Structure 1
Amino acid sequence: MDIMAFLICLDNCIDKTTLSRLATIVDAMLSMTGRVTMLGISRWTEQGGSYRTIQRFFNTSITWYKINWFLIRKALTGMKEILLIADETVVTKSGKHTFGVDRFFSSILNKPVSSISFFSLSLLDVQNETSYSIMTEQIEKEKKNTENKGKKKKAKKKKNSSKKAPKGRKKGSKNKDKKNVALSSYHLWAQGLIKKVLNLIGAEIELRIFVFDGAFGNNESLQMVKQCGLELISKLRYDSALWFPYTGQYAGRGAYKKYGEKLDYTNISKKHLVSSETKGNVRTDIYNIQLWHKNFPELLNIVVIKKTNIMTNKVAHVVLFSSDLELHWNKIITYYRLRFQIEFNFRDAKQHWGLEDFMNIKEKPVYNGANLSMFMVNLSQILLQNQSVGLLSMNDLKTWFRGHKYMRTIIKLLPKDTDQTIIQELQNELSEIGRINLVKNAA
């Protein structure tokens, strides 16, 4: 597999010098062992890959989301179902000098840690269950104003038992338009990233659904996504108050009633049951209902997944929702489950491609280091789709390239009249040493 053959599609979005440096770095990263730092990469590069060259690359302004799109476009062309998914990942960092370092919550450690955080957008191929990262941006926390810290005095509440607060709404208050919400700075920033991706892709791929975890399970996030022309799939709190639409008769005065009975998660009517399955001691019941949430302006397509332990009678449930009322309940579950593919991207980037290893501290090198790791995840997935050499995992891929790098070094030491059959046998043997999933007689 010639790496340059896979990277030649990038010549429209980066200059030749940067492309040449990228090819050199990619070749080194595919075969190297140890920590993926600038120094580590330079030790595995061949001619033209000095440490200074690596430094120049990491300090170059690169539009990574265009590079990722040109790389993955061919793999996604012709696919029927493509989703836009997103998530955040945290990279632990010690010290105080790394750009954007702060205390971010780590779901693995279950506590805030000194780290930097990245927001990543990916295109998900539903048919092949594969996620391709297209944009990764660093999250910066807003700096709090500490000028008046310590000067604020606690307001003393006057107790007056004789006067009670009047019932009902305050005089002059008006109904708020739940569709026209003021987006927070974080939502405006995320919305800008989504629009960038949509503008880049254009009409080449039809994107209709955006999937995010429970952090976007609120009306502000829903309106932000709908303003981009997409439908949202996310998760609500397990105890969210949901209401059936009112079906009774008009009282004859006042406004028409909107909310009917409140949903009781412990006693959902069987007429809303769409699937029931028992595996071992666990029964899984799935309910699909269109319900109101008082913080949302429109009906929501709700899917409640209820699991019951038959032996202990313990019950747990998850509440998924979509703004698309026509979307089938099975697709809501499938799409939300496939959102986890982006977590595998983060895992591979940290384990194999240096997302946890880079030592850069300045803004541009940090940005390039993170995006290079995510780019390598995309490239490695495309390389693994080439079944001619029988590679089944990231470790197999790196072992295969490492064997070929060793073979190139050996060939330089062999006599020029060495039989090509011997060279081919050596190459095959070297590329198989250390492979986990060994496929014999691979072409």
Structure 2
Amino acid sequence: MRFISARINQVNELTKPQKKFLGWIFEKWIMLPVRHNFLNLFRYADGQYSEKSIRNQFSKKMNFRALFDSSFGGLKAKECIAAFDPSFIPKSGKKTFGKGRFWSGKDQRAKAGLEIGCLALVDVEAATAYSIEAIQTPGEMKNALMDHYVGIIRNNIGRIKSFTDYLAVDGYFMKKTFIEPMLKMGLQVITRMRPDANLQYLYKGPQKTGRGRKRRYAGKVDMNNIDKRRWKLFYEDDHILAFELVVWCVTLKREAKVVYLKHKQGTGHTVFLSTDINMSGKKIMQYYGLRFQIEFLIRDAKQYTGLEECQAVSENKLYNHFNLSLMSVSLMKLTCWASLKDKSDIPFSMRSIKTWYYNKYLTETIFSNLGLELNCNKIKKLYSKCLNIGSMAA
């Protein structure tokens, strides 16, 4: 928490009351064992903030992008990629800002509620994601939804480019209206294609002399039966064969590096695409696999930091709630897990961290009321023992 407080104090874009409030609320937010709303925060505030004060603080938009810059700047020295993923948030209420019908991946249908577009930075070595910013999707944006997603990335492009030139997204974003703006901003996109993707082989043979357009293509790629004489096999295990090739993508109207995964069991296959034609097939597989870290980040925020529990209806309060939930998980990853030397052997567990902070709150409250001081060695041992009750691995 000292690290978090120091980074908050370095953010010039926050006012003094906001710095004080954020320094206080992060620990309460992580610890809170009940629903994350203003009344429950007041119940655990120990008289430091009233419910009205908490509401007033949430009504003013906080600069979480600047907090990200202050806290995660050290990752510029590491290999990173950006990831983007929309997430459905169930919400009732007729007056809620942004209420509409959005796609729910869990239910595989459109449902009434809210949606946030979560932009994150993924540390390749540690294989974990940290939230940059979550922006709510306004309701009823069917015709301009892709423009909204592009706008989220455009507003953070300088921040993203300071870390990486690569963006990983799922197959929904395999559209020209999304990928072209990313390329204009200097980002290379890694995504998944349809199994029946429309691809053409590039012609590399001798050209006819004389007038006329030169031959560019050597036939359509049969996605169910690829020509293995053209494709390069770069990986094989008990389950898949992985091939790579630079082809012409008809959808994007440009050359692209494509990875074709042939499943040994059955007739299925999976196709990945990178707009960087010089990228290796192994990197494409690795980067797309790391895209799922943003989904784990959202999952932890939903389960442990109340991402789906906001009872406010105004735009600023919703923005602050969503970003506080995601940033809490991100900062706990950075401070409690990413700095460990043996982190590959110790999985990140947000539940253990949440349990530890709740134990700390209860222990300090009881010890304070009993007048017990930590100067005594017996009390110190008892205090340490209480903190680790109920901790577990992920």
Match of 1:241 among 187, 198, 217: 198
- The amino acid that maps onto 1:78 is A
Give the superposition deviation at 1:41: 1.7
Q: What residue is the counterpart of 1:407 in the other structure?
A: 363
* d(CA) in 2 for partners of 1:323, 1:417: 61
Cα deviations by residue, 1:330-371 (Å, 9 ceiling, x for unpaired): 000100010000001110111011111111111111111111
* d(CA) in 1 for partners of 2:3, 2:206: 67
* TM-score, normalisation: structure 2: 0.90
* d(CA) in 1 for partners of 2:35, 2:372: 36
List alignment gaps of at least 5 residues for structure 2.
none
- My pick for the range that moved more, 213-222 or 225-234, is 213-222
Aligned to 1:270, the other structure's residue is in SS state coil
- Asked whether the 8 Å contact 2:76–2:163 carries over to 1, the reply is no
* d(CA) in 2 for partners of 1:351, 1:233: 28
1:7-86 pair list within 5 angstroms: 7-74=7-74, 76-79=75-78, 81-86=79-84
- My pick for the range that moved more, 414-423 or 397-406, is 414-423
* d(CA) in 2 for partners of 1:377, 1:34: 17
Give the superposition deviation at 1:195: 3.1
- The amino acid that maps onto 2:77 is G
Instruction: Report the CA distance shift for 1:241/1:143 in structure 2 as closer, same or farther (over 3 A).
Output: closer
- The amino acid that maps onto 2:241 is D
1:352-371 pair list within 5 angstroms: 352-371=304-323
Cα deviations by residue, 1:33-64 (Å, 9 ceiling, x for unpaired): 12111212221223412212211111012122
Match of 1:266 among 224, 241, 245: 224
- Asked whether the 8 Å contact 1:290–1:325 carries over to 2, the reply is yes
- Asked whether the 8 Å contact 2:61–2:317 carries over to 1, the reply is no
Cα deviations by residue, 1:131-165 (Å, 9 ceiling, x for unpaired): 11101101114468xxxxxxxxxxxxxxxxxxxxx
- Asked whether the 8 Å contact 1:9–1:71 carries over to 2, the reply is no
* d(CA) in 2 for partners of 1:117, 1:86: 13
Q: What residue is the counterpart of 2:115 in the other structure?
A: 117
* d(CA) in 2 for partners of 1:418, 1:257: 81
- Asked whether the 8 Å contact 1:7–1:23 carries over to 2, the reply is no
* d(CA) in 1 for partners of 2:256, 2:175: 12
* d(CA) in 2 for partners of 1:268, 1:94: 49
Q: What residue is the counterpart of 1:154 in the other structure?
A: none
- Asked whether the 8 Å contact 1:304–1:319 carries over to 2, the reply is yes
Cα deviations by residue, 1:288-317 (Å, 9 ceiling, x for unpaired): 1111122333211111111021xxxx2111
- The amino acid that maps onto 2:212 is G
- The amino acid that maps onto 1:407 is T
Match of 2:386 among 422, 425, 430: 430
* d(CA) in 1 for partners of 2:6, 2:59: 24
- Asked whether the 8 Å contact 2:150–2:178 carries over to 1, the reply is no
- The amino acid that maps onto 1:194 is I
- The amino acid that maps onto 1:138 is Q
* d(CA) in 1 for partners of 2:326, 2:277: 34
- Number of corresponding residues: 387
Aligned to 1:234, the other structure's residue is in SS state strand
Q: What residue is the counterpart of 2:269 in the other structure?
A: 317
Give the superposition deviation at 1:27: 1.9
Is residue 257 of structure 1 aligned with residue 200 of structure 2? no
* d(CA) in 2 for partners of 1:436, 1:418: 26
- Asked whether the 8 Å contact 2:193–2:271 carries over to 1, the reply is yes
* TM-score, normalisation: structure 1: 0.81
- The amino acid that maps onto 1:256 is K
Instruction: Report the CA distance shift for 1:195/1:9 in structure 2 as closer, same or farther (over 3 A).
Output: farther
- Asked whether the 8 Å contact 2:118–2:134 carries over to 1, the reply is yes
Aligned to 2:156, the other structure's residue is in SS state helix
List alignment gaps of at least 5 residues for structure 1.
145-183, 439-443
Q: What residue is the counterpart of 2:154 in the other structure?
A: 195
* d(CA) in 2 for partners of 1:32, 1:206: 33
Instruction: Report the CA distance shift for 1:97/1:406 in structure 2 as closer, same or farther (over 3 A).
Output: same
- My pick for the range that moved more, 54-63 or 190-199, is 190-199
Q: What residue is the counterpart of 1:305 in the other structure?
A: 261
- Asked whether the 8 Å contact 1:238–1:319 carries over to 2, the reply is yes
- Asked whether the 8 Å contact 2:5–2:23 carries over to 1, the reply is no
- Asked whether the 8 Å contact 1:25–1:54 carries over to 2, the reply is no
- The amino acid that maps onto 1:51 is E
- Asked whether the 8 Å contact 2:197–2:223 carries over to 1, the reply is no
- Which has the higher Rg, Structure 1 or Structure 2? 1
Instruction: Report the CA distance shift for 1:38/1:124 in structure 2 as closer, same or farther (over 3 A).
Output: same
Instruction: Report the CA distance shift for 1:220/1:270 in structure 2 as closer, same or farther (over 3 A).
Output: same
Give the superposition deviation at 1:234: 1.1
- Asked whether the 8 Å contact 1:105–1:113 carries over to 2, the reply is yes
- Asked whether the 8 Å contact 1:187–1:224 carries over to 2, the reply is no
Instruction: Report the CA distance shift for 1:115/1:411 in structure 2 as closer, same or farther (over 3 A).
Output: same
Give the superposition deviation at 1:228: 0.6
Q: What residue is the counterpart of 2:172 in the other structure?
A: 215
Q: What residue is the counterpart of 1:160 in the other structure?
A: none
1:342-353 pair list within 5 angstroms: 342-353=294-305
Aligned to 1:232, the other structure's residue is in SS state strand
* d(CA) in 1 for partners of 2:177, 2:371: 70
1:121-200 pair list within 5 angstroms: 121-142=119-140, 185-200=144-159
